[in-house]
Amino acid sequence: MLGAGAVGLAALMAARVVGADPIIAVDITDERLELARELGASHVINGKREDTKARILDITRRGADYIVDLTGHPKMLAMAVEALAPTGSVALIGAAPQGTQASIDMAALLNRRVPRSHPGRCGSAAVDSQAHRVLSSGQVPVRSLGEAVRVRRYRARVRRFEAGKNDQASVADQ
């Protein structure tokens, strides 16, 4: 998962339910990565401090079979395509502003898929159907995920406040 916000974490839990392995969460926020690990990520990568593509290739040994890009960032999409295994797929879920273009190595696209996606869809009818079954089964605690994200944000703000870094909204605003 590229992006460990609420949607990325829900996708991570769904991946865990269907038996995906390894499950790699990528984000630039340590708190999100910590929560991703708690929710079932087998590996976490901080994209600010680590070479994401190299780590994905190291963990998977041949590239990832599936990557879900929730960032909407052109460089992340390009990196995701390059980090795929032969015949792998990237699901582009993150939205970018109209007109945003990504520069992708055309050779990296050979034998790989980047299915068309739009809000509310995961890229293919089969994946959407499976996602619907998993989310409807109750095995992915979507409501508690929202609460966990709010608790993490609150704790982070308390830490910033205690450290004298109260440039964000006050803790009481939460």
Residue 106's CATH number: 3.40.50.720
Q: Is position 107 within any domain?
A: yes
The widest CA-to-CA distance across the chain, in whole angstroms, is 52
pLDDT averaged over the chain? Answer: 80
Give pLDDT, residue 22. 97
Q: Is position 145 within any domain?
A: no
- 25 forms beta bridges with 44
Q: How far is CA 38 from CA 32, 125, 135, 137, 161, in A?
A: 10, 30, 19, 21, 25
Q: Of the ranges 80-84, 90-94, 136-140, which is most confident? A: 80-84
Q: Is position 100 within any domain?
A: yes
Instruction: Give yes or no for a contact between 128 and 117, defined as CB atoms under 8 angstroms apart.
Output: no
Structural domain for 36, as ranges: 6-140
Confidence of residue 149 (pLDDT cuts 50, 70, 90): low
Percent of the chain scoring above 70 in pLDDT = 68
pLDDT over 80 (residue 104): yes
Percent of the chain scoring above 90 in pLDDT = 40
d(CA 88, CA 80): 10
Point out the least confidently predicted range of 11-20, 33-42, 109-118.
109-118
Q: Is position 46 within any domain?
A: yes
Instruction: Give yes or no for a contact between 32 and 7, defined as CB atoms under 8 angstroms apart.
Output: no
Q: How many domains does the chain have?
A: 1
CA neighbours within 13 Å on the CB side: how many for 113?
A: 12
Give pLDDT, residue 174. 40
Q: Is position 164 within any domain?
A: no
Q: Is position 168 within any domain?
A: no
pLDDT over 90 (residue 139): no
Those residues whose C-beta lies under 8 Å from the C-beta of residue 164, and which sit 6 or more positions away, are none
Point out the least confidently predicted range of 40-44, 58-62, 73-77, 139-143.
139-143
Q: Which two tokens stand for residue 42?
A: 């087998």
Q: At what angle do helices 30-38 and 6-17 cross, to 10 degrees?
A: 20
pLDDT over 50 (residue 14): yes
Give pLDDT, residue 24. 98
Q: Is position 95 within any domain?
A: yes
Q: Is position 75 within any domain?
A: yes
